[in-house]
Amino acid sequence: MIRLLNVSMMPPGVGQPVLRNLTLSVPQGEFRWLLGPSGAGKSSLLRLLTLETRPSAGQMDLLGVSVTHASRATLRNLRRRIGFVPQDYRLIGEWTVFDNVALPLRLRGASERDTRREAFAVLEWLDVAHLADKRPGTLSGGEQQRTAIARALIGRPELLLADEPTNALEDAQARRLLTTFQELIEMGTTVIVATHNEALVHEAPAASIVLQDGTIANTDIQGGMSVRRGERS
């Protein structure tokens, strides 16, 4: 469950909040599109939800934890339950695809055997297992994006946040990602996806959070996400 009550966020050194008075709740295991024009605050909201930034006002609960009053140790543990696909991928250039994807599990102290098994499972899920030994800089944009998605999915996060996760993907790959989101929801993961891709939203109608000028324009409830099954190719 995600719950925000009158949350504002003002980055350090900026005179005014970039997010203002956000109140919203997303039950566990549900999907939301995060929509709004460029500059509306989508990435800023995702940065709040990934705990990269803290609210400057209001209350925020994530996965049953009150972020507002949490200790650093609590936030560190909470962060490990969240998967994030950043808009710019943030892959480590000197590392292989495998090591990039394995990082979240290694940080959790998983055994090398479990790490290998899980990393190859998500690499295969995202169709990048054949690139495991390559460095990110040698990959296409779409391959890098799928690597970033694999890294976000390893360890089965309870909350998956994705910032424009299809902008480097071909249409078929983007549709396949929708099926992946559907599978995550069925496993009880909450999924929030910021996108400008109207065709994709049309393909999978779902409730959405619409931002405008740093505040919520509406939460548009159109029913649950419904990706047609059998599209995975």
State the minimum distance, in angstroms, from the CB of residue 210 to ligand ATP. Answer: 11
CA atoms of 49 and 91, how far apart (whole Å): 20
Query: Nearer to ligand ATP by C-beta: 104 or 214?
Result: 214
State the burial class of residue 203 (Cβ atoms within 10 Å of its Cβ: 0-12, 13-18, 19+): middle
Q: How far is the CB of 14 from ligand ATP (least distance, A)?
A: 4
Nearer to ligand ATP among residue 11 and residue 188 (C-beta)? 11
- Minimum separation from the CB atom of position 199 to ligand ATP (A): 17
Spatial separation of the C-alpha atoms in residues 127 and 117, rounded to whole Å: 15
**DSSP letter string, 16-57:** S-SEEEEEEEE-TT-EEEEE-STTSSHHHHHHHHTTSS--SE
Minimal distance, residue 227 CB to ligand ATP, in Å = 23
In the chain the beta strands, taken as DSSP E runs, fall at: 2-9, 19-26, 31-35, 57-62, 65-66, 82-85, 159-163, 190-194, 208-212, 215-220
Closer CB to ligand ATP, residue 90 or residue 130?
90
Closest approach of ligand ATP to the CB of residue 47, in Å: 8
Residue closer to ligand ATP, measured from CB, 13 or 93: 13
44 vs 147 by CB, closer to ligand ATP = 44
Q: Residues interacting with ligand ATP, by CB under 6 A?
A: 11, 14, 18, 36, 38-44
- Please classify residue 188 by burial: count the beta carbons closer than 10 Å to its beta carbon, then call 0-12 exposed, 13-18 middle and 19+ buried: exposed
